[in-house]
């Protein structure tokens, strides 16, 4: 009887172990993205670029003051190129002073530093500050809009056209949710120091304090930007971004019914992304992933790696199940050129390929001398 009880206990332990293993191996439950009360929206990871949710993301829509994301990008690019400085004084024209809509209340005829105007544009969404900067950078707002369009093309924004710097309505002034993600991703990547200004909650100029209209800055500690927009025809819009545990998401919500709605719908998307997904850095750019034999060269081993740092966004809990496999050209014969592809890296999950990247030479290797080439030729023949 005692023996039977011990056997039963052992059986229960074994069955419990396998049951726990099955539960641990079960795939994560990823629900469908939330419904979003907006004309168009998109949620994507900053590092990997993976789209987690979208609707009407390629439909042309009015950007309203989201236009100022591009306006600030162009000004920041001019600063980075040392063509203008943050301390430069900008004289406020009558056109800038008379701008309708949201304003920073800059007095006509005064001279104001670029930095002050930039913060007025970013935090207060000042149309007057924006036009003043446009005129300073390009001589006129029309030429500045041309610069914005050129920059949009350079960034790969394929369905965007700007007519002005502020986002005031115009039939030929439009963009898409996907293009706004592309732009915002570039802004955060290219100008991290200036991007911090998008988290400023209030800004005072001329003894007038105005609050940032992005209410998520108060509601969500992980949110640090980006920009609101509103006109009667565009509705209420918001591009938001937040970083949590090393994962940065960007949400684009266009054409909601009010200020609270645009914040609420954006929060839905960000919460969904952070709750059900994670982003991992798999490999760093120019990090040797393999040392492979190269024949007839000045040295025997060639390091292979990736040109760019590789990030992957995947459902939470599936990282340990990833599989990486390399396929390398064989045989490799010198010379090898720096940056030339000699193989591929394949990342898969449960047998399904998630992505493939080229493996490139991380250094160049010249041909060896005559003796080395002859010896390697013999070795190859014997293999």
Indicate the DSSP class of residue 340: -
Query: Rounded to an integer, what distance in angstroms lies between the CA atom of residue 160 and that of residue 172?
Result: 9
Dihedral Cα 187, 189, 191, 194, nearest 10 deg = 80
Q: How far is CA 327 from the centre of its chain?
A: 29
Helix/strand/coil for 243: strand
Helix/strand/coil for 163: coil
Dihedral Cα 33, 35, 36, 37, nearest 10 deg = 180
Query: Rounded to an integer, what distance in angstroms lies between the CA atom of residue 112 and that of residue 91?
Result: 6
Contact 180, 227 (CB under 8 A): no
Helix/strand/coil for 230: strand
Catalytic residues: 65, 68, 125
Alpha helices, H only, 294-350: none
Label residue 59 exposed, middle or buried (CB < 10 Å: 0-12, 13-18, 19+). middle
Query: Rounded to an integer, what distance in angstroms lies between the CA atom of residue 18 and that of residue 15?
Result: 5
Indicate the DSSP class of residue 320: G
Handedness of CA 87, 88, 93, 99 (dihedral sign): negative
């Amino acid at each position: 009887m005692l023996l039977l009880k011990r056997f039963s206990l052992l059986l229960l332990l074994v069955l419990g172990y396998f049951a726990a293993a099955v539960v641990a191996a079960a795939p994560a439950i990823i629900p469908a993205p939330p419904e979003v009360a907006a004309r168009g929206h998109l949620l994507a990871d900053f590092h990997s670029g993976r789209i987690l949710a979208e609707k009407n993301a390629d439909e042309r829509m009015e950007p309203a003051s989201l236009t100022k994301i591009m306006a600030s990008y162009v000004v920041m690019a001019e600063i980075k190129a040392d063509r203008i400085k943050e301390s430069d004084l900008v004289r406020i024209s009558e056109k800038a002073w008379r701008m309708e809509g949201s304003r920073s209340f800059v007095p006509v005829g005064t001279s104001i530093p670029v930095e002050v105007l930039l913060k007025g544009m970013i935090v207060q969404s000042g149309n007057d500050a924006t036009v003043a900067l446009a005129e300073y950078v390009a001589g006129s707002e029309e030429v500045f809009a041309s610069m914005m369009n050129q920059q949009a093309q350079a960034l790969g924004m394929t369905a965007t056209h700007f007519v002005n710097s502020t986002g005031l309505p115009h039939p030929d002034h439009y963009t898409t949710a996907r293009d706004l993600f592309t732009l915002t991703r570039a802004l955060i990547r290219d100008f991290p120091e200036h991007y911090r200004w998008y988290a400023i909650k209030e800004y005072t100029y001329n003894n007038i304090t105005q609050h940032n209209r992005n209410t998520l800055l108060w509601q969500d500690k992980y949110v640090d930007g980006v920009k609101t927009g509103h006109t009667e025809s565009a509705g209420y819009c918001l591009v938001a971004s937040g970083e949590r545990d090393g994962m940065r998401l960007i949400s684009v919500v266009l054409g909601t019914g009010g200020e609270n709605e645009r914040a609420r719908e954006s929060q839905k998307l960000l919460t969904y992304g952070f709750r059900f997904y994670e982003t991992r850095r798999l490999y760093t750019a120019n990090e040797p992933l393999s040392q492979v034999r190269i024949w007839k060269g000045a040295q025997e081993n060639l390091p292979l790696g990736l040109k760019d740092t590789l990030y992957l966004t995947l459902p939470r809990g599936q990282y340990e199940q990833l599989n990486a496999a390399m396929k390398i050209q064989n045989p490799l014969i010198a010379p090898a050129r720096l940056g030339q592809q000699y193989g591929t890296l394949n990342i898969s999950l449960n047998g399904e390929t998630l992505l493939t990247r080229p493996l490139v030479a991380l250094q160049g290797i010249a041909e060896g001398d005559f003796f080395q080439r002859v010896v390697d030729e013999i070795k190859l023949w014997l293999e």
